[in-house]
Amino acid sequence: EKGGWPSFMDKEIHEDPEAVANTLLGRFDAKGDIVLDEVRIEPEVLRSIDRIVVVACGTASYAGLVARYAIEHWVRIPVEVELAHEFRYRDPILTPRTLVVAISQSGETMDTLMAIRHAREQGSRVLAICNTQGASIPRESDAVLYTHAGPEIAVASTKAFVAQIVAAYLLGLYFAQIKGTMFRDEIHHIVQQLRSMPEKIQWVLDTQADTVNRTATHMVNARSFLFLGRHVGYPVALEGALKLKEIAYTFTEGFAAGELKHGPIALVDAGEPVVVIVPSSRGRSTLHNKVVSGIEEVKARGAYTIVVAEEGDPDAERYADAVFWRPVCSTLLSPLVDVVPLQLFAMDMAMLKGYDVDKPRNLAKSVTVE
């Protein structure tokens, strides 16, 4: 079943490119416009939506956080992302014009299921982004957009995460198309870029795995890791931290790079590993400069810096002890490639420590109790 791979996790990480490609498949008409046939909510109703609330847990919630940056930018409506278990118990404000988007790989997560039941009772429409055909969450939703990542067996979610981002992006672009918040050409241009992502992810798998493995070997005894990122790099940092904690049992914390001086920098001591997601250096954007100054600050305090950066970024070379390169791509699409070395890194760390990467202790693949 593992098809020659040492673990399901290894196999599934190597299926990231396919998960992205398959989730895009069959979602366009001959003119290149987006057609989401499964989203059986009338266009007039979709046009009236004035707020999106994403409910999800764990990795799926980080896919929601990534999508928030893109959807708000493209559709100009507020997107909130809430952990399903928190949402359910705080009497959230929901109206018929709110679209609740439940993201779940298994479609059986009880916390997320309870959240959508609550949303529907309040009169909101629910759309599920799900990887499992016919599971409870899509069954109880008004509409569903399936991710086509294929069955995910390893407890640590990998290929489902990239597929969830793609599905949520398709939903955002579809909204932009029907609400007319973007030009057709702009949408087509982003779709073109999305189509090139499988190749870019493959490049990371083919060229960066050795560096990742060497870095994991070097850091195997580290007791804790900090992960930081800004903008879409922030949820990627949270996801990288979760992966390492889940399967390598290493204490990690992921946080927004801008928070560094508001507290977390106190943790940085000589030798402390800090993983930083660096935005594109093209045009030397403010975003890039701000994150680089964060690296400088932790470096000055003796941190061991592991950086995910765009090919050829001179600042990455200057301040990083190890670099995982990303091929050039637009900022909003960068999470699809940036998460890949972090998935590999967590897996390598767990393997080096002799742990079962597919079945980490204390965890179930789908959490069917509240």
Residues that bind ligand M6R (CB under 6 A): 57-60, 104-106, 109, 112, 155-157, 246, 366-367
Alpha-carbon dihedral sign for residues 190, 195, 199, 204: positive
CB of 4 to ligand M6R, least distance (A): 23
- Shortest CB 298 distance to ligand M6R, Å: 26
Nearer to ligand M6R, 109 or 334 (CB): 109
Q: How far is CA 62 from CA 80, 273, 313, 315, 322, in A?
A: 12, 22, 26, 27, 25
- What is d(CA 152, CA 176) in angstroms, rounded to the nearest whole number? 31
Q: What is the DSSP string of 283-334?
A: GG-HHHHHHHHHHHHHHHTT-EEEEEEETT-HHHHHH-SEEEEE-S--GGGT
Please say which residue, 109 or 280, places its beta carbon nearer to ligand M6R: 109
Nearer Cβ to ligand M6R, position 130 or 308? Answer: 130
Q: How far is the CB of 109 from ligand M6R (least distance, A)?
A: 3
The residue among 63, 277, 56 whose CA lies nearest residue 172 is 63
Examine the residue annotation and report whether 365 is marked as an active-site residue of this protein: yes
CB of 3 vs ligand M6R, minimal distance in Å: 21
- Residues 6+ away with beta carbon under 8 Å from 198: 17, 18, 20, 21
Question: How is the beta sheet containing 125-130 ordered, strand by strand?
Answer: 79-83, 51-56, 98-104, 125-130, 143-146
CB of 104 to ligand M6R, least distance (A): 3
- Gap between the Cα atoms of 201 and 16, Å rounded: 7
Of residues 179, 353, 359, 365, which has the active-site annotation? 365
The amino acid at residue 285 is S
* Separation between Cα atoms, residue 291 and residue 286, nearest integer Å: 9
Identity of the residue, 22 or 104, whose beta carbon is nearer to ligand M6R in the bound complex: 104
User: 151, 166 in Cβ contact below 8 A?
Assistant: no
Whichever of 58 and 335 has its CB closer to ligand M6R, that residue is 58
Residues with a known catalytic role? 365
